Structure 1
């Protein structure tokens, strides 16, 4: 992984333009020909080729050489385009260190009007075809050049939309801004529930279920809830990671709600020997 702050500071204006040109070309090409980047940027061929080599050396794009020479963004390069958009909008003024790395995201500290976190979605990092099959919101989408770029962008937009609908009624991160595959949000304190040894586990179970109920009342079901995306602190909990949400009235709503609640109940029974009946808990969540 690159040092985002250092590489961003090193980028020249023409290199940023070339990154945007590669991004644009990836809408229609798996590997973007040099000619397309040249046409987009309106820079000379020698300049484009030299700067493309520089960006390869910075490890933010990659090169393909076979029947022709082509380029495509790496996730870190896509990150830098989102960062540039946030800087231009004055959403952020400084970047910090990586504060979280997950299977499908990287989170950086940032500073704007106050400390923020930037979550960069990484859906499709290993196989966007597998991600498309396993995400309900992607299954019915028919796009000829469907790619990780599109999957990550859609996930970020969905998560931002969910946070806007839920915050502040539900304990979720405060949404601040989003661009491409990135979401700027408030910093979430506490520790992952899976890593905590709770002194009053019954209280934390109740708090988690209360937030699930509040989200349901607002029409959303997390649909990927577990002890790994609930953050706990002394005074409460925060539920994170919302891109896979489903609508409470959707065709898979009951199945997803049962899975979410079942995951939480199973965790508390397994670790703390607290047993709750699944059917009764779901009935309570659905009751206004």
Structure 2
């Protein structure tokens, strides 16, 4: 757990970080990094290396095996420590706070960032640690285009690549699209501004129609930039008095993806179902999709051609029928199943008393 990392972080010195980096580097080539390789990498006397490795094992930053040889792997906690150390050195953060969120594929930590040139006050930020691959490497490879086919695959590769991918797309769409400002990325972690407000799923809106229009406007701007979120729902949209912010971008695709239309429809359908179920607002899916696509090149920027890497991923995805079926399962033809989903979800009434109200009446 991340809190265990924070307990030992101050005790880790430069030589410990050298060992952790050696294991990280070695895992590109070995499932278990041999101690002989670590000895070569760190250039430490073997007895001192073994002593420090025992300490890192005890602190649950690395794990040791003796079969078929003595070797080591880095835990997520050890990888967290490496990323935190880099952020501190680069002054992306100056203090580390508490864990504020845990998801299926990420852990969120509070932090403080000093102002540039020491002008102004320190600002609160968050660090998002990607956790792709922690439970099942095979499942992550099946559902994520950007993993590709790798002879040697590890959770380090999955988590690091997901963070790189998310940070790159955030820097591309910010500030045209309303998202938390991305600040830095290292390994499997991203430093970004704190999202404003609260999750749409946990909020009771006083002017729901306005917020729905604003969410759809952000989807249209995103599409005009040649991007589809690909995982949009009430669980990754923040709402506040200022408007909305979209979060969680590692699964994004481009309109060149062979199933782009279905995935865009799924994103929009998730939003429409939520507002219909909770506020009784009805919109026709076909009309909304038509509006998102119409004149998209007039907003912010024209749609870009996919890069060579993106084109390769899209080509490879055509052969991954099972993955695509998992992504668009239940979508069917445009709009098909929307009414059934609304009817089914109406059975589950939400407890509005636990929700925070946002949004003044707008003209």
Q: TM-score, normalised by structure 1?
A: 0.96
Query: Structure 1 CA distance, aligned partners of 2:243 and 2:150?
Result: 42
Matched, 1:131 2:137: no
Specify the alignment match of 2:66 in structure 1: 65
Whether 1:277 and 2:284 are equivalent positions in the alignment is yes
Q: Tell me the equivalent position of 1:97.
A: 98
* 1:263 counterpart residue number: 270
Whole-angstrom distance in 2 between the partners of 1:261 and 1:251: 18
For 1:171 and 1:41, how far apart are their aligned partners in 2?
44
Q: CA deviation at 1:235?
A: 2.2
Task: Check if 1:159 corresponds to 2:166.
Answer: yes
Q: What displacement does 1:105 show?
A: 0.4
Q: 1:116: how far off?
A: 1.5
The structural deviation recorded for 1:132 is: 0.9
Of 177, 188, 206 in structure 2, the residue corresponding to residue 181 of structure 1 is 188
For residues 124-173 of structure 1, what are the alpha-carbon distances to aligned partners after superposition, in whole Å with 9 as ceiling and x for unaligned? 110111011011333xx221111111111111111111111111111111
Contact 1:220/1:247 (8 A) holds in 2: yes
Query: Structure 1: how far apart are the matches of 2:256 and 2:29?
Result: 36
- Give the aligned partner of residue 51 of structure 1: 52
Structure 2 residue corresponding to 1:240, chosen from 240, 247, 262: 247
Report if aligned partners of 2:109, 2:128 keep a CA contact under 8 Å in 1: yes
Which shifted more, 249-258 or 33-42?
249-258
The CA deviation string for residues 228-250 of structure 1, in whole angstroms up to 9 with x for no partner, is 10011122111000001011233
Higher normalized contact order (CA 8 Å, seq sep 6+, divided by chain length):
2
Deviation (angstroms), 1:5: 3.2
Q: 1:148 aligns with which of 130, 136, 155?
A: 155
Aligned with residue 122 of structure 1, among 131, 156, 165: 131
Q: Is the 8 A contact 1:2 1:59 kept in 2?
A: no
Q: Is the 8 A contact 2:2 2:99 kept in 1?
A: no
Q: Given the two structures, how large is their TM-score scaled by the length of structure 2?
A: 0.76
Residues matched between the structures, number = 286
Gaps of 5+ in 2: 115-122, 296-363
Report the Cα offset of residue 189 of structure 1.
2.2
Q: Does the residue aligned with 2:234 lie in a helix, a strand or coil?
A: coil
Question: What is the rounded CA distance, in whole Å, between the counterparts of 1:2 and 1:162 in structure 2?
Answer: 26
Structure 1: segments with no counterpart, 5+ residues: none
